[in-house]
Structure 1
Amino acid sequence: MSSALARVALSAYRWVGFGLYPVMRPYLAIRAAKGKEERGRRRERFGHASVERPAGPLVWFHAASVGETNAVSPLIREVRRRGINVILTTGTVTSARVARDRLGDTVIHQYVPLDLKPTISRFLDYWRPDLAVMAESEIWPMTIIELGARQIAQVLVNGRMSDRSFARWKKRPAIADALFEKFSLVVAQSDVDAERFRTLGALPVLVTGNLKVETDAPPYDPATLAGYLGQLGDRKTWAAISTFEGEEIAAGAVHRMLKERTGLLTIVVPRHPERGDVIEAALVAKGLKVARRTRNDPLTADTDIFLGDTIGEMGLYLRMTEIAFVGRSLLGEGGQNPIEPAMLGCAVLSGPNVQNFRDSYQSLAKSGGAKMVRDVEMLAKGVGYLLAHDEMRRRMIDAGQDTVHEMRGALVDTLRGLEPYLNPLTVKARLHPRET
Structure 2
Amino acid sequence: MAAPFLYRAWVAASMLLVPFFARTETRKLRRAGVSVSRAHEKLGHATQPRQQNGPLIWFHAASVGESLSVLALITRMGRALPDAQFLITSGTATSAKLVQDRLPPRTVHQFAPLDAPGPLKRFLKHWRPDAAIFVESELWPQMLRRTYESGAKLALLNARLSQKSMESWRKRPAFARYVLEVFELILTQNDKMAEAMVAMHAPPQRVARGINLKSMSDPLPVDQDALFEARAALGHRPVWVASSTHPGEEDVVLEAHKRLLATRPDLHLILAPRHPERGQEVMNLISDAGLGVTRRSLGDAPGDQVYLADTMGELGTWYAFTDIVFLGGSLHPIGGHNSFEVAQSGATVLSGHHVTNFAETFQEMQDLGAAQLISDASDLAEKVDALLSDDDARRQACDAARAFAEGQTGQLDSIAERLINVLELAG
**Does the alignment reach a TM-score above 0.5?**
yes
Aligned match for 1:21, one of 11, 18, 23: 18
User: 2:156 corresponds to which residue?
Assistant: 156
Distance 1:258 1:84 in 2: 53
Shift of 1:152: 2.2
2:185–2:422 Cα contact (<8 Å) kept = no
Contact 2:277 2:310 in 1 (8 A): yes
1:157 Cα deviation from its structure 2 partner: 1.9
1:256 aligned counterpart, secondary structure: helix
TM-fit CA distance, 1:42: 1.0
**Counterpart in 2 of 1:273?**
276
1:290 alignment partner in structure 2: 293
Shift of 1:288: 2.3
Cα separation, partners in 2 of 1:36 and 1:284, compared to 1, 3 Å: farther
1:131·1:421 contact (CA, 8 Å) conserved in 2? no
Q: 1:165 to 1:238 in 2, by over 3 A?
A: farther
Answer yes or no: is the 8 Å Cα contact 1:162–1:355 preserved in 2.
Answer: no
- Between 108-117 and 386-395, the greater mean CA deviation after superposition: 386-395
Distance in 2, matches of 1:162 and 1:359, equals: 17
Shift of 1:340: 0.8
Between the aligned partners of 1:122 and 1:229, the Cα distance in structure 2 is 51
Q: 2:202 corresponds to which letter in structure 1?
A: A
C-alpha spacing 1:10/1:267, structure 2 compared with 1 (3 Å): same
Deviations 1:350-385 (A, max 9, x none): 111111111111111122211111223322222222
Q: How does 1:37-436 map to 2 (within 5 A)?
A: 38-56=35-53, 57-81=55-79, 82=81, 83-103=83-103, 106-163=106-163, 165-203=165-203, 204-262=206-264, 263-300=266-303, 303-421=304-422, 423=424, 425-427=425-427
Q: Tell me, in whole angstroms, the C-alpha distance in 2 between the residues paired with 1:103 and 1:173.
A: 38
SS at match of 1:195: helix
Provide the C-alpha distance between the structure 1 equivalents of 2:169 and 2:394, rounded to a whole number of angstroms.
Answer: 42
The TM-score with structure 2 as length reference comes to: 0.91
- The range that moved more, 12-21 or 82-91, is 12-21
In 2, Cα distance between equivalents of 1:161 and 1:361:
19
State the alpha-carbon separation in 2 of the partners of residues 106 and 28 from structure 1. Answer: 28
Give the Cα separation in 2 of the matches to 1:351 and 1:241: 12
8 Å Cα contact 2:91/2:111 also seen in 1: yes
8 Å Cα contact 1:36-1:92 kept in structure 2: no
- The one-letter code of the counterpart of 1:416 is E
> Partner of 1:11 in structure 2?
8
Q: Provide the secondary structure at the position in 1 that maps to 2:59.
A: strand
Paired residue secondary structure (1:103): coil
Structure 1 residues 365 and 143, CA, compared in 2 at 3 Å: closer, same or farther? same
Whether the 8 Å contact between 1:208 and 1:413 is mirrored in structure 2 is: no
Query: For the Cα contact (< 8 Å) 2:273–2:310, is it kept in 1?
Result: yes
How far has the Cα of 1:15 moved from its partner?
Answer: 2.2
Q: CA deviation at 1:250?
A: 2.2
In the alignment, the residues of structure 1 paired with residue 22 and residue 170 of structure 2 have an alpha-carbon distance, to the nearest angstrom, of 34
Which shifted more, 49-58 or 353-362? 49-58
> Which secondary structure state, in structure 2, belongs to the residue aligned with residue 224 of structure 1?
helix
Structure 1 unpaired stretches of 5+ = 428-436
CA contact under 8 A between 2:346 and 2:402: conserved in structure 1? yes
Give 5+ residue unaligned stretches, structure 2: none
Corresponding residue SS for 2:269: strand
Shifted more, 173-182 versus 226-235: the winner is 173-182
SS at match of 1:408: helix
Provide the alpha-carbon RMSD of the alignment: 2.4
Cα drift, residue 26 of structure 1: 3.4
CA contact under 8 A between 1:349 and 1:371: conserved in structure 2?
Answer: yes
- Distance in 1 between the 2:411 and 2:193 partners? 15
Q: CA deviation at 1:30?
A: 4.2
CA distance in structure 1 between the aligned counterparts of 2:22 and 2:180, rounded to whole angstroms:
30
Tell me how far 1:399 sits from its aligned partner: 2.0
Q: Which SS does the other structure have where 1:44 is aligned?
A: helix
Deviation at 1:256, TM superposition (A): 1.6
Looking at structure 2, the residues matched to 285 and 279 of structure 1 have their Cα atoms a distance apart, in angstroms, of 10
The residue type paired with residue 403 of structure 1 is F
Cα 1:386–1:43, aligned 2, differ >3 Å: closer, same or farther? Answer: same
Secondary structure of the corresponding residue to residue 201 of structure 1: coil
Asked whether the equivalents of residues 161 and 196 of structure 1 are also in contact (C-alpha less than 8 Å), the reply is no
Q: What is the rounded CA distance, in whole Å, between the counterparts of 1:36 and 1:206 in structure 2?
A: 40
Which is worse superposed, 232-241 or 169-178?
169-178
Q: Is the 8 A contact 1:157 1:414 kept in 2?
A: no
Give the conservation status (yes or no) of the 8 Å contact 2:29–2:92: no
Contact preservation (8 Å) 1:84, 1:426: no
**Mapped partners of 2:35, 2:9: distance in 1:** 31
Q: Secondary structure at the match of 2:132?
A: strand
Name the aligned partner's letter for residue 406 of structure 1: G
- For 1:319 and 1:26, the matched residues in 2 are separated by 42
What amino acid sits opposite 2:44 in the alignment? G
Between 325-334 and 398-407, report the one with greater CA deviation: 398-407
Farther-moved stretch of structure 1 (349-358 vs 198-207): 198-207
One-letter code aligned to 1:261: T
Describe the superposition over 1:325-355 as per-residue Cα deviations: whole angstroms up to 9, x where unpaired. Answer: 1111103421111111122121211111111
More displaced stretch, 114-123 vs 162-171 = 162-171
Q: Note if contact 2:154-2:423 (Cα within 8 Å) is conserved in structure 1.
A: no
Task: Return the offset for 1:166.
Answer: 3.5
How many residue pairs align between the two structures? 421
SS of aligned partner of 1:218: coil
Per-residue deviation, 1:159: 2.8
Distance 1:187 1:29, change over 3 A: closer
